[in-house]
Structure 1
Amino acid sequence: MTFPATAGADHDLGHSAVQRARELVEPVLRDRVDRLGPSLGGIGRYHFGWRSDGTGATGKGIRPALAVLAAEAVGGTARDAVPAAVAVELVHNFSLIHDDIIDNDDLRRGRPAVWKEHGVPAAILVGDALHTEAFGALLGSGHPNASAAALRLATAMREVVVGQVDDIGFTTRPWTGEQAVRIAEYQSMAEAKTGALLAFAAAGGALLGGADAAVADCFDRLGRHLGLAFQCTDDVLGIWGDPARTGKPVFGDLREGKRTLPVIAALTAGVPASERLGALFERGVRSDFELRLAADLVEEAGGREFAEGEAARHLAEVDSCLASLAMPAETRAAFDSLAQSLIGRSR
């Protein structure tokens, strides 16, 4: 998933945290990828977009920034968080490489996906290698809390995999009736697939910054609510977002038949628009007219309002987590900047 930019002084704080994290993490990340050798390492560098002259983008850097801010929040340094920040970037990119195979997506960051460029076997193997290196980065750090952080990463990755399986399974379920996907099921899947790695980034950074398990648990909750706020917003943008700003086609999620929160909420609202929407989906949504009608029915049935309300609710929970933790004011403001960016995107 991609994260947007915000504006103003708060944005400066968030941007500064991302930049600091990137400067600390990228050299270590590159070293970890280079350890894979000329073949797999080269494929890894291709995925990350690193050019032969040493330049190239690594990604938005939100997860490493969360790890760095969490370490600083509990009295540690940004450098303390590096093993957790590197680990979360490695497993995130492992999941992206494998997701592109599963979803049959040809492109990643505007270029052919790894599987498309290098073949499926190589893509599977380089993803596996990145996953392994993530645990090496943590356990090889020598930090007294490294094993506790590694255990949290293992738990997060199990959640991500289960969430992915559930998401795939949703596509085979009927749109209506007793077997249709319910809101609680979707939210559980989204927390696992989207929230778990953000939870690890925050909790892992806190642990390496010197926090105890109870404080790390609070950062874990913060990350989960942050992930759910993002996913709710992403679901709204997946239907009504401006393609020029989101990079996605208008009505894209409807076109792909995705069971997203606005759709599920609309189908289960029990209003006349819900019945019309269910009948439309059962027939099949194909033409531009049908896509626009489906979007209008989702909104009429309250699906958009529900998803936007859930995004705001989860963001309020992030605020509650932040309020319960003692930390420097600037660190709290940077956390808030990153959180606000998740639901501050243009439609």
Structure 2
Amino acid sequence: MSDVTDVLKEYSADVIKTIEENLAPVQPQNLQDACIYLTKAGGKMLRPALTLISCEAVGGNKEDALKTAAAIELIHTFSLIHDDIMDDDDMRRGMPSVHKVWDEPLAILAGDTLFSKAFEMIISSKEENAHPEHVANALATVADACVKICEGQASDMSFEGDFDVKEAEYSEMIYKKTGALIAAATKAGAIMGGADEKEVTALYEYGRMIGIAFQIQDDYLDVISDEKDLGKPVGSDIAKGKMTLMVVKALAESDGEDHERLLEILKDNDCSQDMVNEAIDLFNKYGSIDYAYNLALENVNGAKEAIAFLPDSDAKSMLIALADFVIARSS
């Protein structure tokens, strides 16, 4: 775990520098400050690291993918800012959300600026001798992911209060909301590294599967972690009545009084911690917590299998370690 964290920090240093250089011209100053705020707040920077490492795994030079990696992080940050506004979340990465530090109009503008800058940065890779076809394909990959993110967020919003959501519908939502950008990160990195079609497809599948595992693990950690590690109350998703894989599975497997009680808890706007704990007991009773973990593990193993044919290298070893990190992390 510590080795993976160190590698993420190592790769993120160049990404942060690139982001800061490209946001420096943004004016007025409060807009620039709002744009860079979450980058300075920290974060794993998993997505841009995956872009750079995927580039190296196919024999490319990570410098060729640096602006694409930074663009991926800007897209991710843009989505966080807008998500926090839509969900009215007060905190992000242990700090007040962008719209709480400034206001909603400026936060929206900051997100829009990051979104626009991301595409500008990928296009400008041509100025540094990146192959024009690689740039165009990376650009199309990121644009497609952006559409999927919006579709995933819209689906997630439509699930609120809908307790008849099927597992297939939930899986499609988390792929679009979380998995698509991680898949785009690995695919774009491979493209910028000059990968052939087989390598590009494999790295896309790798990213798609660890992206799905990443979201399932987030849901899983919400009910099995302690509050200190989690940074928020345990079972906060339950208290909000959010549809997670464990909720979907428990509702599908339960019946009678247990089914009705779980629905009561999820629908209660004043859900107490005792009620949250009761819901977690029902998750355990119907095996939905173990089911979620095992599905995340299945996706991680599938991701590693997808890139097994790549030549052995430090980059390939790191991709394997990062896949394991997705379900080994505690926050």
| TM class, shorter-length | over 0.9
Pick the aligned partner of 1:87 from 45, 60, 71. Answer: 71
Quick one: distance in 1 between partners of 2:261 and 2:171?
Answer: 21
Secondary structure, counterpart of 1:168 in structure 2? helix
Name the counterpart of 1:295: 280
Deviation at 1:263, TM superposition (A): 0.9
Secondary structure, counterpart of 1:127 in structure 2? helix
Name the counterpart of 1:264: 248
Q: Is the 8 A contact 1:242 1:346 kept in 2?
A: no
Distance 1:333 1:277, change over 3 A: farther
1:345 aligns with 2:312: no
Name the counterpart of 1:182: 166
Distance 1:282 1:258, change over 3 A: closer
Pick the aligned partner of 1:217 from 201, 212, 222. Answer: 201
1:121 aligns with 2:105: yes
Quick one: distance in 2 between partners of 1:316 and 1:191?
Answer: 17
Deviation string for 1:326-347 (max 9, x for gaps)? 2333222211211111111349
Q: Is the 8 A contact 1:273 1:298 kept in 2?
A: no
Deviation string for 1:283-309 (max 9, x for gaps)? 637233222111101110111121111
Quick one: distance in 2 between partners of 1:111 and 1:190?
Answer: 25
AA paired with 2:140?
Answer: L
Distance 1:222 1:292, change over 3 A: same
Q: Is the 8 A contact 2:78 2:112 kept in 1?
A: yes
Pick the aligned partner of 1:105 from 50, 67, 89. Answer: 89
Name the counterpart of 1:35: 25
Q: Is the 8 A contact 1:149 1:207 kept in 2?
A: yes
Secondary structure, counterpart of 2:253 in structure 1? coil
Structure 1 residue runs of 4+, over 6 Å off?
A: none
AA paired with 2:203?
Answer: F
Distance 1:99 1:346, change over 3 A: closer
Deviation string for 1:198-246 (max 9, x for gaps)? 1111111111111134421221111110011111111111122211112
Q: Is the 8 A contact 2:64 2:125 kept in 1?
A: no
Distance 1:117 1:61, change over 3 A: same
1:248 aligns with 2:237: no
Secondary structure, counterpart of 1:172 in structure 2? coil
Deviation at 1:270, TM superposition (A): 4.4
Name the counterpart of 1:164: 153
Deviation string for 1:161-198 (max 9, x for gaps)? 1000110111131x2xxxx1111111100011110111
1:26 aligns with 2:16: yes
Quick one: distance in 1 between partners of 2:170 and 2:283?
Answer: 16
Structure (1 or 2) with the greater helix fraction: 2
Distance 1:279 1:134, change over 3 A: closer
Quick one: distance in 1 between partners of 2:282 and 2:231?
Answer: 24
AA paired with 2:211?
Answer: G
Q: Is the 8 A contact 1:84 1:204 kept in 2?
A: yes
Deviation at 1:158, TM superposition (A): 0.5
Quick one: distance in 2 between partners of 1:71 and 1:273?
Answer: 53
Secondary structure, counterpart of 1:286 in structure 2? coil
Name the counterpart of 1:52: none
Distance 1:271 1:323, change over 3 A: farther
Deviation at 1:277, TM superposition (A): 4.1
User: Percent identity of the aligned residues?
Assistant: 34
Unmatched runs of 5 consecutive residues or more in structure 1: 1-5, 50-56
Deviation at 1:278, TM superposition (A): 4.0
CA RMSD of aligned residues (A): 1.9
Unmatched runs of 5 consecutive residues or more in structure 2: none
Q: TM-score, normalised by structure 2?
A: 0.92
AA paired with 2:19?
Answer: L
Distance 1:346 1:131, change over 3 A: closer
Secondary structure, counterpart of 1:250 in structure 2? coil
Name the counterpart of 1:3: none
Secondary structure, counterpart of 2:125 in structure 1? coil
Q: TM-score, normalised by structure 1?
A: 0.88
